Amino acid sequence: MYSYNGVVYGVVFCLISAAFDVFVAYLTQSINSAIVIFYCFVSSTLLFMMISIFKGIDQLIVKVRKNILLVLIVNVSILLNWGGLIIALRFLEPAIVGVASVACGPAITILLSSFIDKSEAKTEKLEVVISWLVLIGVGLMLVNSFLGNSGLSSTSIQDRMIGIVSVILSAVGTVLYTIFSKKLFKQKWQTYEILSVRNILMVVISFCYISISDVSLSLDIEMILPMLILVMVGHLLPIYLVQKTINAISPLHVSLLFLLIPVFTILFQYLDSRIAFSVESLIAVSVIVSLLTILGVSKIKKTNRV
């Protein structure tokens, strides 16, 4: 399944997500990550739940009962995806987080799809090779980051380890969400219906964490506007765009398209004074872009032959 509209949605999503990554990396130096997560996901859940109620809540209840396992897996996927992403951005260079959280998606998608959905696992040899090369490159990049060879070297070894584990969990969550969200679409779920139920676990866990750790939900006056921008432009719009993208193209192509995120991120991240220029990060992104260029040329030639 291929749609040029899906590609457009995906590219805009990648652009906004890159800006989101850099902004969150900066914001979480002043605000607890759990608060950022709570405000973003409460807002999106309430918004899309209201849309679902307006469209017909009875229909949503029937779908949830019928697909309760899929809904649970999607919730766990979001917990891993966004929770891991926001925590990782606190401790790692945004470009590295952008690469690691989505770049290993193609290889993981191929592995998981072969077990979960064989109809989505039909891929060209070149896609398989490029996906594994990217995965190996991500591994090397994370090791390099752990050693302090990145644009953000002021963090401790413990911080880097937390960031690396978090970004790996985020990558797994990204792939799981793409696959199982696609399954919900096949069960005739609407975009707003998925968005109304996918964040419930994230909201519950972040609220419990905030309650136990005695973190205040109140924001300083100077933080209200940045948080509002983050929620509206950095969260609500991207999750809608990514859902439209997933609906329009296959999981593997979603994962490949999202590799544009680190390209945009490395351009935006130097607006943050904490981030120094890193040759290693630039090389990593350049290699990924080169691999994607090879893949794109191959697909064009294949299309022309057909």
pLDDT confidence of 1, banded at 50, 70, 90? very low
Which of 206 and 277 is assigned the larger pLDDT? 206
Spell out the SS3 assignment of 38-57.
HHHHHHHHHHHHHHHHHHHH
Averaging pLDDT over each range in 56-60, 74-78, 104-108, 272-276, which range is the top one? 74-78
Checking if the pLDDT of 288 tops 60, the result is yes
Structure-token match 């891993």, residue found: 80
| Helix 157-186 vs helix 237-248: crossing angle, to nearest 10 | 50
Checking if the pLDDT of 91 tops 70, the result is yes
Q: Which pLDDT score is estimated for 182?
A: 84
Q: Which pLDDT score is estimated for 72?
A: 95
pLDDT per residue as tens digits for the range 195-253: 899 999 999 998 888 888 877 777 778 778 888 888 888 778 887 887 788 777 776 67
| CA gap 299, 293 in Å, rounded | 10
What's the mean per-residue pLDDT of the chain? 79
pLDDT per residue as tens digits for the range 132-148: 787 787 788 888 878 77
Q: Which pLDDT score is estimated for 197?
A: 93
| CA gap 188, 12 in Å, rounded | 25
Residue 106 near residue 26, CB atoms below 8 Å: no
Q: Which pLDDT score is estimated for 71?
A: 94
The answer to pTM > 0.85 is no
Domain ranges of the chain: 1-304
Which of 90 and 205 is assigned the larger pLDDT? 205
Poorest-pLDDT segment among 56-70, 133-147, 198-212, 272-286? 272-286
- Calculate the CA 298 to chain-centre distance: 26
Please, what is the Cα angle at 295 between 289 and 299, to 5 degrees?
Answer: 140
